[in-house]
Amino acid sequence: MKKPIEFYKNRVAYALISVLSILALLGVTFFLNGGFRLGIDFQPGISMAVSVQGSQVEQVRQSLNGLPYSYTVQTAGGQNTAEYVIRAPIPGNKEDLLQDMEEKAVSALKARFGAESVNVLAVDYIGPSLSADLVVQTITLVLVVLLLMIIYITFRFRFGYAMGAVIALVHDVLFTLAFIGAMGIELSTAVVAALLTLIGYSINDTIVVYDRIRENIRLNREQTLPFILDQSITQSLSRTFVTSLTTLLVVVVLAIVTEGDVRNFSLSLAFGITVGTFSSITIASPVLPLFKSVKRDVAREQESYVKAQARV
């Protein structure tokens, strides 16, 4: 039998690497970048859907440059519709500026492309209470997903496995959030979608390793739990790397060829897949010996093995 790679032996080193890396990224986020960049979804502002005939997205952006508000422009609709979503946060949460923000944007577009070419399709005002509600709902959604994961894994395996998986998931989410903040990526609904996608992807990777661990506990009853953990992770490595690399390839291509929210989604998910693969190997399984339910399973199988050997 091929000698397993000693992941369990180096578990403390892996944990330190993760903690120091997260702290370094958070340091960049708060001390160099001044904190997370909240997108329009999570702060008060205006969102306008407009049609500007005979325009390109860069031309629309240029026409809004120099205005007293920070407008962002994204394409919407088909290639030939020249439809855009224009968003901007309210400076200082002053809701009385909303009307002025709309008027200045529309006026700038009409001055550049002509009044007959500009058509305002929809205008949404996002107040402070709504943006605060969205933040609370997002945090609640992530916590509910983690709770459902605990219930599912406890039902399928043991509570110890569930806690190991959740520790790895919290690691992945924190690491990815720290990366998002350090890179100055806007926290938007697209980034939240990337985090939820990451949770699903990471837990799938972890479940594959847990299945192998449970199988090896039954097959190698004479072995210690650390050996079984290393053996199971080693046996799953090829599958883990192939799956991660193929998925990562697609996501990286998306990050290169797209822009706006899609690019933010792709960048966040690409980093998340990388740290998710790392945590499935170096965190989710090596923490299992900390939980009694897992150790009881191993002790039960070892006791059965000793009895079987005694009968022989």
pLDDT tens string 113-153:
888 888 988 888 776 666 667 778 878 888 888 888 888 88
Per the CB < 8 A criterion, the answer to whether 121 and 82 are in contact is no
Question: Other CB atoms closer than 10 Å to residue 283's CB: what's the count?
Answer: 24
Determine which helix (DSSP H) or strand (DSSP E) holds 197, and give its type and residue range: helix 189-219
pLDDT in tens, 71-121: 888 777 655 668 888 888 887 666 677 788 888 999 999 988 888 888 988
CA dist 180 → 173, 270, 308 (Å): 10, 11, 54
Determine which helix (DSSP H) or strand (DSSP E) holds 124, and give its type and residue range: strand 118-126
pLDDT in tens, 148-182: 888 888 888 888 888 899 899 999 999 999 999 99
- Class of the CATH-defined domain 45-126: alpha beta
CA dist 109 → 89, 98, 245, 260 (Å): 19, 17, 44, 20
Q: At what angle do helices 260-282 and 225-257 cross, to 10 degrees?
A: 170
Per the CB < 8 A criterion, the answer to whether 172 and 180 are in contact is no
- The domain ranges of the chain are 8-36+131-311, 45-126
Q: What is the pTM of this model?
A: 0.79
> Any idea what DSSP says for residue 95?
G
What is the b/e burial string over 191-218, where b = at least 16 CB atoms within 10 angstroms of the residue's CB? bbebbebbbebbbebbbbbbebbbebbe
Q: Does the pLDDT at position 1 exceed 60?
A: no
Q: Is the dihedral of CA 71, 75, 80, 83 positive or negative?
A: negative
The CATH classification number of 8-36+131-311 equals 1.20.1640.10
Q: At what angle do helices 260-282 and 189-219 cross, to 10 degrees?
A: 20
**274 band by pLDDT with thresholds 50, 70 and 90:** very high
Q: Whole-angstrom Cα distance, residue 308 to residue 128?
A: 68
pLDDT of amino acid 17:
94
Q: Does the pLDDT at position 24 exceed 80?
A: yes
Q: Does the pLDDT at position 198 exceed 70?
A: yes
Closest CA to 108 of 69, 48, 67: 67
Q: Whole-angstrom Cα distance, residue 166 to residue 37?
A: 27
Torsion, Cα of 157, 162, 168, 172 (10° steps): 110
User: Can you tell me the mean pLDDT for 281-296?
Assistant: 86
